[in-house]
Amino acid sequence: MFSGIVEEAAQVTALRKEQGNLHITMTCSFVDELKIDQSVSHNGVCLTVVEKTDKTYTVTAIKETLERSNLGLLKVGDKVNLERSMQINGRLDGHIVQGHVDQTAVCTEVREAAGSWYYRFEYAFDKEMAKRGYMTVDKGSVTVNGVSLTVCDPTNNSFEVAIIPYTYEFTNFHQIKKGTVVNIEFDIIGKYLSRMMQFRD
């Protein structure tokens, strides 16, 4: 489980395909603290550390993960948002994030607003999935590339988020532009509530 508070935007140093899998090797400031089998969120996708050296570590994304997320689009040199799993004795600064990306979205607009930025994202809308909580609501929570954010101005198939300078600089939001594909995870609480409503008498 994660909180959507990114620790670092780390760099991809190598990519290796093996059948339907993709091995992603990265470097970050806390490599020496990582352990084999540890879960780390990568652009919002929970992946397991499978290899480790003094300076790098490797995770493996399977075919289903590549099809559902933007990890298959990564190139060497790209920045990926990292977050280690949440500690149970700490404050929940973001919101409850599972690290299970629901689908991708495309950035349709970026505009600057007196030192901050507004990003609009559009995703494929499915009415039946929306009934199960796969949607956004005004002032609700959404995870974009692993970042916990507050929804602004949602429509059936789009939403907007406001990015402060700190988030812009220390996550990969500074690399997102019109046309960029991002990972989104809808709020798990909304999913549970929607599911419960289906079984009301």
Phi, psi torsion values for 171, nearest 5 degrees: -120, -175
In contact, 198 and 131? CB cutoff 8 Å: yes
Residue 35 has what pLDDT? 96
Q: pLDDT tens per residue, the chain (201 residues)? A: 899 999 999 999 999 999 999 999 999 999 999 999 999 999 999 999 999 999 999 999 999 999 999 999 999 999 999 999 988 777 778 898 999 999 999 999 999 999 999 999 999 999 999 989 999 999 999 999 999 999 999 999 999 999 999 999 999 999 999 999 999 999 999 898 888 888 776
The residues near 149 (Cβ < 8 Å, ≥ 6 apart) are 4, 141, 142, 143, 161, 162, 163
* pTM across the whole model: 0.93
Q: What is the C-alpha radius of gyration for the chain, rounded to an integer number of angstroms?
A: 17
- How many residues does this entry show for the chain? 201
Residue 201 has what pLDDT? 60
For residue 141, give Cα distances in angstroms to 98, 128, 193: 13, 20, 14
In contact, 134 and 117? CB cutoff 8 Å: no
Domains of the chain: 8-84 (2.40.30.20), 103-197 (2.40.30.20)
Look up residue 47 and give its two tokens.
Answer: 């992946």
